[in-house]
Structure 1
Amino acid sequence: MDIIHEKTPRETAGRDTMVRFRMQFQAAAFAALEILSGKEVDRVYCDYHDDFVVRRIVDGAVEYHFFQVKTKGRANQQWDVDGVFSLKKTGQLDTPEKLEAIRSSIAGKLFVHTVEFGEQCREVTVLSNVHFKDEVHELVADLAAGTSSKKYIRQLIEKFAAVISPEKPMTPEEVEAARRKLTLRPNVQYIGDALEAFGVAAHNAIWKHSEIELHQHEVERIAKSLVMLVEDKSCTPISGLSKSDIELATGVGLEDLLKVLSISTQVYQTLLQGGDPAAIKSASILQRKLKEIGTPENMIESASRAKVSWDVWMRKARHTFPEFTLDRLLEEIDKKCKAWLLAGGELADLEKCINELMQSPIGKQFPTLGIDLLFGALCAAIVRKAAR
């Protein structure tokens, strides 16, 4: 008789550890989605220097945001001052051991980054699935202000430089800047034992940063793939690797996210270089629609180049042809595109559709429009219709 489930297991810590790591991977994956916005965030490092690090390029300068992910098993648990800072509320902060305890705490390890990275350290954050007690929020606020009504906090402010930089002298300005860099992110809802909450949050973030529409089965696949991507980046050995190899091994960049979203890097780059302000969204729509009708990969890349050529032609045409005439052309293109899609969007019918456009009364008013440009026009129409 099998009695394995009737006996209390000797060791279950491994399961708890894996859950904590899974939450760390979810937090890093969620942060990486901001790369899709094409603004400041361009890379997220996984389990490198800290649980994860967000890199921003601000006015040409590099800035790093360091994160420690600290979780608890029950939602009603909270982090206190001792848990975050290893700081006692009574007694004197007067021994090397007490200073070292703070330096080795969750917050202390984060503050060390402010010394090692100086001005490039933008912010350091403790992120958790549960709340922090009011005393922790008060301590963080008082550190930033440089003053407090609590004796134990005043002692930390006075000893701050000795805690985080015992061997390297800091100027008063450096000390003040470092104290202000700690922030808290409590009760984060997109990390958890399962992927459901993360999937919902990831879906919303993808829409926010790129306006890409996803079906439910795609959300589930992408959520799993994102977490697996971060796990892989977190676990890849880096000993002996060059700096450039470490960059690739530990960091999540735009190309990694495009792969997860099944967007061709070549198609995206073509549309981006062509001046498309929503290149990720356009690439996603174009690839999905063309793949649905069985378009080969090489032809999808040709479609992206054709769309760019059409967009360039249109920008010039607006200065050459009357607006009314151009609007009639766009209307005819949209009608042909709609009819083609409603008829099943067969690839074999595409050339016929293009020829009909060329032979139409409005098409004949634009003799420079050939097959390639009108192919690009139909691709642009597909994107417009799907983006509405």
Structure 2
Amino acid sequence: MDIIHEKAPRETVGRDTMVRFRMQFQAAAFAALEILSGKEVDRVYCDYHDDFVVRRTVAGVVEYHFFQVKTKGRANQQWDVDGVFSLKKTGDLDTPEKLEAIRSSIAGKLFVHTVEFGEQCRAVTVLSNVHFRDEVYDLVADLAAGTSSKKYVRQLIEKFAAIVSPGKVLSAEQVEAARKKLTLQPNVQYIGDTLEAFGVAAHNAIWNHSEIELHQHEVERIAKSLVALVEEKSCASISGLSKADIDLTTGVGLDDLLRVLSISTQVYQTLRQGGDPAAIKTASILQRKLKEAGTPDTLIESASRAKVSWDVWMRNARHTFPDFTLNVLLEEIDKKCRAWLLGGGALADLEKCITELRESPIGKQFPALDVDLLFGALCAAIVRRAAR
């Protein structure tokens, strides 16, 4: 008789540890999705210098935001001052051991980054799936203010430089700047034992940053792929690697996210270089619709180039042709596109649409519109209709 399930296991620490690592991976993956916005965030380092690090480029200057992900098993648990700072509320900070305990604490390790990275350290954050007690918020606020009514906090402020930088003298300005960089991110709902909440949050983030629409089965696949990507980056060896290789090995960048979203990097780059401000969304729509039509990948890349050529032609045409004539042309293109989509969107029918456009009365008024430009015009219409 199999009694393995009837006996209590000796320990489950390993299982609990893996759950906490998965939450760390989820937090890093969620942060990486901001890269899709194409703004300041361009890379998220996984388990490199800290649990994860968000890199931003602000006005040409690189800044780093360091995160420690600290979780608890029950939602009603809270972090206290001792848990975050290893700081006792009684007694004096009068021994090297006490100072070292704070330096090795959750907050202490983060504060070390503020010294080592100086002005390039944008902020340091403790992120958790549970709340922090009010005393922790009060301590963070007092540190930023540089004063407190509590003796144990005043001692921390007075000893701050000795704690976070025992081997380097810091100016008063450096100490003040460092004290102000700690933030708390409590009760984060997108990290958990399962991927359900993360999947919902990731879906919303992808839409907010890129306006890409996803089906439910895609959300589940992408959620798993994102967490697996971060896990891979977190576990990869960096021994002997160059700086550039470390970036690729430990960091999640735009190319990684495009692969997870099944978007061709070449298509995206073509659209981006062509001045499309919504290149990720456009690339996603083009690939979806053209793949549904049975279009090979090489022709999809050609479609992106054709759309860019059409966009350029249209910008020039607006200064050359009457608005009425152009609008009649655009209406005819849109009509052909709508008919193509309603007819099932077969690739052979798309070629027929291009021929009919060239031979139509309005098409003959624009002799410069060759097959490639009209292909680009139909691609632009596909994107425009799908984005409505």
1:239 aligns with 2:248: no
Match of 1:77 in 2: 77
The alignment partner of 1:291 has SS state of helix
CA offsets per residue over residues 151-176 of structure 1, 9 Å max, x none? 11111001100000011000000000
Q: Which runs of 4+ in 1 moved over 3 A?
A: none
1:138 to partner: Cα distance: 0.3
Q: Which digits, 9 at most, give the CA deviation of each residue in 1:41-68, with x for residues without a partner? A: 0000000000000000001110000000
Aligned to 2:144: 144
Structure 1 residues without counterparts, runs of 5 or longer: none
State how far apart, in whole Å, the 2-side matches of 1:141 and 1:213 are: 40
One-letter amino acid of the counterpart of residue 25, structure 1: F
Cα distance in 1 for residues equivalent to 2:344 and 2:311: 26
Counterpart of 2:57 in structure 1 is: 57
Cα deviation, 1:215-271, whole Å, max 9, x if unaligned, reads 000000000000000000000011122222111110000000000000000000000
Q: Distance in 1 between matches of 2:47 and 2:88?
A: 29
Alpha-carbon offset, residue 214 of structure 1: 0.2
Q: Which residue of 2 aligns with 1:340?
A: 340
Distance (whole Å) between structure 2 residues aligned to residue 353 and residue 239 of structure 1:
56
| Structure 2 residue 29 is matched with structure 1 residue 29 | yes
Q: What is the CA–CA distance in structure 2 between the aligned matches of 1:124 and 1:220, rounded to whole Å? A: 31
In structure 2, the partner of 1:298 is: 298
Structure 2 partner of 1:106: 106
1:140 deviates by 0.3
Q: TM-score, normalised by structure 1?
A: 1.00
* Residue 365 of structure 1, CA deviation: 1.0
Structure 1 residue 32, shift from structure 2 partner: 0.1
Matched to 2:57, the amino acid is: I
Give the corresponding residue for 1:119: 119
User: Corresponding residue for 2:206?
Assistant: 206
How many percent of aligned residue pairs carry the same amino acid? 87
- The residue that corresponds to 2:68 in the other structure is 68
**Would you say how many aligned residue pairs link Structure 1 and Structure 2?**
388
CA distance in 2, matches of 1:324, 1:141: 62
Gapped runs of 5+ residues in structure 2? none
Which residue is equivalent to 1:186? 186
Q: How does 1:153-168 map to 2 (within 5 A)?
A: 153-168=153-168
Moved more, 336-345 or 254-263: 336-345
How far apart, in 2, do the equivalents of 1:81 and 1:274 lie? 53
What are the within-5 Å matches in structure 2 for residues 279-294 of structure 1? 279-294=279-294
**2: CA distance, partners of 1:115 / 1:346:** 60
Where does residue 328 of structure 1 map in the other structure? 328
- Residue 356 of structure 2 is matched in structure 1 by 356
In structure 2, C-alpha distance between the alignment counterparts of 1:338 and 1:184, rounded to whole Å: 50
| Structure 1 residue 332: Cα displacement | 0.5
Residues of 1 paired with 2:32 and 2:267: CA distance?
Answer: 21
CA RMSD of aligned residues (A): 0.5
Give the Cα–Cα distance (whole angstroms) in 2 for the partners of residues 67 and 76 of structure 1: 22
* Aligned partner letter, 1:80: D
Deviation digits for residues 322-344 of structure 1 (CA, Å, limit 9, x no counterpart):
11111111110000000011111
In structure 1, what is the Cα distance between the partners aligned to 2:349 and 2:294?
Answer: 13
Task: Tell me how far apart the structure 1 counterparts of residues 242 and 321 of structure 2 sit (CA, whole Å).
Answer: 55
Report the 3-state secondary structure (helix = DSSP H, G, I; strand = E; otherwise coil) of the residue aligned with 1:319: coil
3-state DSSP class of the match of 2:5?
helix
